[in-house]
Amino acid sequence: MSLLTREKKYQYIALTNSGLNLHEANTLARIVNVASMRGYMSDEDFKILNEILDKLERFAGLLETKSQAKKRIIKKYSRQKGEDRIANFFTTGLGAGLNKKTDFKRFGILKRRVMKQRAPTRPGSSIGKIGKTRVIGHKKLNRDIDNLAKSLNKMIASFERIGNKKAGAKAKAGAINNFINSIRTEVKIKGRR
């Protein structure tokens, strides 16, 4: 296990046992990042969440040209990059900071106490302290996004047939804004003292 992975797990355990407000953005980002690691979140859930983020990013700037629409693909992200994207989405929402790296610099209670000798590392000490991540509602959200895209395309085509492209674009922008604003995310942390 790499040093960074051990550090992430240590911070997760220390933060959940600390009694701090875990819904502060920086703290929550660290916790969600660890919860989306391999071994805690299934690969299928990880893949679907990143697909949802890609689709929402496209919807956020949907007034795209035909050449952009042809290039539309679901990207595959490295596990680390995907974990950062998921953590940022659940803490700050969909926006400019989605691809920002999660900061794991120690602060406050996470700072190491001054000791004469550093305590030896104990591999496997986090087993049983960090549970499996449950993701609820992501498959339905993924289907809803696909259905929205299909119905928007049909709506735009019908406006184009009657010759009113401006009204079609305005209706599309309104529908996308309403849909993105209706998405709610919540992180529940169980097992705190």
pLDDT bin (cut points 50, 70, 90) of residue 13 is: confident
Q: What is the pLDDT of residues 17-56, one digit of tens each?
A: 887 777 777 788 888 888 888 888 999 999 998 888 888 8
Residue 105: exposed, middle, or buried by beta-carbon count in 10 A (0-12, 13-18, 19+)?
A: exposed
- List of residues 6+ apart from 45 with CB closer than 8 A: 133, 135, 138
| Mean per-residue pLDDT over the chain, rounded | 78
Contact 138, 49 (CB under 8 A): yes
More confident of the two residues 97 and 5: 5
Contact 51, 61 (CB under 8 A): no
Residue % of the chain over a pLDDT of 70: 87
Q: How many CB atoms lie within 10 A of CB 177?
A: 12
Q: How many CB atoms lie within 10 A of CB 44?
A: 11
Phi, psi of 41 (to 5 degrees): -110, 135
More confident of the two residues 141 and 166: 141
What residue spans define the domains of the chain? Answer: 3-182
The confidence score (pLDDT) of residue 167 equals: 74
Question: Structure tokens of 176?
Answer: 């996308």
Q: What is the mean pLDDT of residues 133-147?
A: 87
Single pTM value for the model: 0.69
Q: Which helix or strand (DSSP H or E) is residue 152 part of?
A: helix 138-162
The confidence score (pLDDT) of residue 146 equals: 84
Q: What is the pLDDT of residues 45-99, one digit of tens each?
A: 999 988 888 888 777 665 455 665 555 555 666 788 888 888 888 887 776 677 7
